[in-house]
Each structure stands twice: as C-alpha cells, then as structure tokens.
C-alpha cells in the first residue's frame, strides 16, 4: 500500500511525529488505524470506554502486538475531564468515539445526542484549550444527507440505479444539501458542523469524512452497525439474515486499509483541507446491492445464506454511493481494494477468528 504521495499533497503538517489520539480506538476502524500508526513507529493513545462487545479483544491484540507504544486511557467521551487528559499531548486526533446506530438513536435520542454531539464538543473544547491545537479527522456519516427520497431511481433485476447520469457515474457529491434524518443523523450532523466551524472560527485544524460502508478485519458486525461483516458472520454460522427492504438497495463499500490510507492523507494535507467535508467510500467502482452481495457470499462460502425480508426502516436510503473526487483531487487518494478482494480478505479473517467470535449475536437482522 502507498504510504504517501510524492508531490506537494504528501507534505505533512508535522506528520509521523508526536502522539496520535484515537477516540473509540479499540473499535474496528480504530484498531486498524492504530495498528498502521504503531507499525510506522508512532506512539498511539487509545481512548475508549470499551462498551461495545468485542472491543476488549481488539485492545488486547494491539497491546500484545505493539507493547508499550500503545497508551490506553479507559474513559468516556461524555466526560470532559477525561477527554482533556487524553488530548494533553496529542499532535493528531482521530475522532471515532460514537453512538453508531440509527436504531439505537430512535430508542434513546438523549443518549445519542450526549455521545455524538456533546462528546464531540467536549473534544473540540479540549483541543481549543491547547496553545497549539492538534489536528482532527472526524468520521461523520452519509446519513447527514437524509433518506435521499428525491433521488430518482430505476429498478433493475438486482439493484437500483440513479436516473441522473452524473450521479450514476460519480455518486453523491458534497454539493448535496445536508438534510438530517433520524436522531442519529441529527447528532452526527451536529458534530460534523461543529468540527467544520471550529476550524473556521477557532482555527482548530480539522476535516470531516462523511463515510459510506466500511468493512474489514477486526469487525464483528451486528444488526446496528457493520452489516457486511454481519452478513458474513451469519453465513459462517449458518444463521438466517433478515433484510429490511427488497435487497436491491445499493451502497459503495470501502475496505478498511483504504480508509486508513485516507486518514493518513487527510492529516498529511491538513493545511490545505482544514474546514472541509469529504464523502468517503468505495465510490462507483466498488458498489454492491444486498442481492449481489449474497451472490458473492455464496461463492465464498459455498452456500447461500437463508434470507428473510421485512419492511423498510426509517431513514433507509435505497441508493447511496460516494462521489470521492473532491478528496482525490485534494490528496491523490483513491480506493484500491476491489469488492471481491475485500470480501475474501474479511471472510478469511472471520474464518480464522471464528473461535473468538461471540457465541450468540444480539440479533440476526441488519439494515445497511
């Protein structure tokens, strides 16, 4: 994998020096990023409350693999004092700590707000208090664009396709007006806007990734988050999968190694991209419908998982594909891992890790 770009876009803002802070660092994305940074010789602080099932195993894996280079602070993003301690010597921040699910936000909007919106503000305030604030990359969501009900679609045999030729070719761009839908969309959208405004108003260097579907090793997906891994886990266990909608909804999926490279490119180019939001995903060349994904799983696993269908859920998008041209133009980044190669890598990792998977998933349903 390419470590940096060779032109002006690869010139970092103090890159590869000092301590990196990863909030939610024991999670799937945090673990993969931490492993990359630690392998590159960085000191990394993992800030996590370890509330998500399975993340304690990720943290043990990182500590066993990298030893004293891993600094661990068990804390909650809602605790302003704990956040301030975690930020104290960081030169770069990657903010992943979050309530991650639309479904959970519908059940408890107050907790969703406190974690996603207030927690992000706690972090930004701790950064702003520093004489030389560290730079931040924040993982937002495509849900800030709402359910995209106004996007005209044509139904094919296995997927929906946009009627608009430009959207079909490039995907949804950052020019799309934000339209928060669901408490989760509101809380992540609020955090998204705070990061952008702190860059403008307080000169806290920051960029926002409005992310599509990410998948890869160290992901143990559930109903609420990580649907690609969830489908594969259920296939391996011989458990049925319930799909909300008709299965023809389309997403661009991005392998986690490619996302990690995007994070590093963002920090390396922070001087030029600060204050901007970018749509990050696999793009038009890495899309799949659920129906097509089940075909891939059948090829990998040797049998098709048992499917059950239910009604569409609130804020479901029938089509979302990221237009990543803005970030590519700014940093030279592009996704390198194909859907087939990425799925096979995750499937092999899940097979090898099967003995360490949870004995029973909380639920067998998922909505991407």
User: Taking every pair of C-alpha atoms in the chain, what is the biggest distance, in angstroms?
Assistant: 58
As a whole number of angstroms, the distance between CA 80 and CA 121 comes to 9
Among residues 29, 14, 39, the alpha carbon closest in space to that of 268 is found at 14
Tally of CB atoms within 10 A around 91 = 20
Tally of CB atoms within 10 A around 227 = 23
The token duo for 322 is 């990221």
The verdict on whether 184 is a catalytic residue reads yes
Q: Where are the beta strands (DSSP E) in 212-249?
A: 213-215, 241-244
Give the SS3 label for residue 104.
Answer: helix
One-letter-per-residue 3-state SS of 284-323: CCCEEEHHHHHHHHHHHHCCCCCEEEECCCCCCCCEECEC
As a whole number of angstroms, the distance between CA 173 and CA 241 comes to 31
Single out the catalytic residue among 145, 160, 170, 184.
184
As a whole number of angstroms, the distance between CA 271 and CA 218 comes to 32
Among residues 245, 14, 236, the alpha carbon closest in space to that of 135 is found at 14
Q: Any idea which residues carry the catalytic annotation?
A: 184
């Amino acid at each position: 994998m390419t470590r940096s770009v060779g032109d002006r876009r690869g010139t970092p803002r103090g890159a590869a020096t000092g301590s990196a802070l990863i909030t939610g660092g024991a999670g799937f994305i945090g673990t993969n990023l931490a492993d990359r940074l630690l392998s590159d010789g960085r000191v990394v602080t993992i800030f996590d409350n370890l509330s998500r099932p399975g993340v304690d195993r990720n943290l043990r894996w990182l500590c066993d693999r990298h030893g004293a280079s891993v600094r661990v602070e068990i804390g909650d993003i809602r605790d302003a004092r704990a956040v301030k301690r975690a930020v104290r010597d960081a030169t770069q921040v990657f903010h992943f700590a979050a309530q991650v699910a639309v479904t959970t936000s519908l059940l408890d909007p107050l907790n969703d707000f406190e974690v996603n919106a207030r927690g992000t503000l706690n972090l930004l305030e701790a950064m702003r208090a520093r004489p030389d604030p560290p730079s931040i990359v924040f993982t937002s969501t495509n849900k800030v664009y709402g359910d995209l009900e106004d996007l005209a679609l044509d139904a094919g045999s296995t997927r929906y396709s946009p009627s608009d030729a430009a959207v079909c070719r490039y995907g949804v761009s950052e020019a799309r007006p934000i339209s928060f839908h669901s408490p989760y969309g509101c809380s992540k959208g609020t955090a998204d806007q705070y990061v952008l405004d702190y860059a403008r108003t307080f000169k806290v260097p920051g960029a926002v990734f409005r992310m599509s579907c990410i998948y890869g090793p160290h992901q143990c997906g559930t109903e609420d988050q990580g649907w690609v891994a969830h489908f594969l886990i259920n296939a391996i266990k011989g458990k049925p999968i319930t799909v909300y909608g008709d299965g023809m909804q389309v997403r661009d999926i991005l392998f986690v190694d490619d996302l990690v490279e995007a994070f590093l490119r963002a920090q390396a180019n922070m001087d030029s991209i600060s204050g901007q939001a970018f749509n990050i995903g696999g793009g038009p060349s890495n899309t799949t419908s659920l129906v097509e994904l089940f075909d891939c799983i059948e090829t990998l696993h040797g049998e098709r998982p048992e499917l059950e269908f239910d009604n569409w859920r609130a804020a479901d998008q029938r089509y979302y594909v990221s237009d990543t041209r803005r970030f590519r133009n700014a940093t030279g980044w592009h996704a390198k891992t194909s859907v087939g190669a990425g799925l096979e890598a995750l499937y092999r990792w899940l097979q090898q890790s099967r003995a360490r998977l949870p004995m029973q998933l909380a639920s067998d349903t998922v909505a991407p």
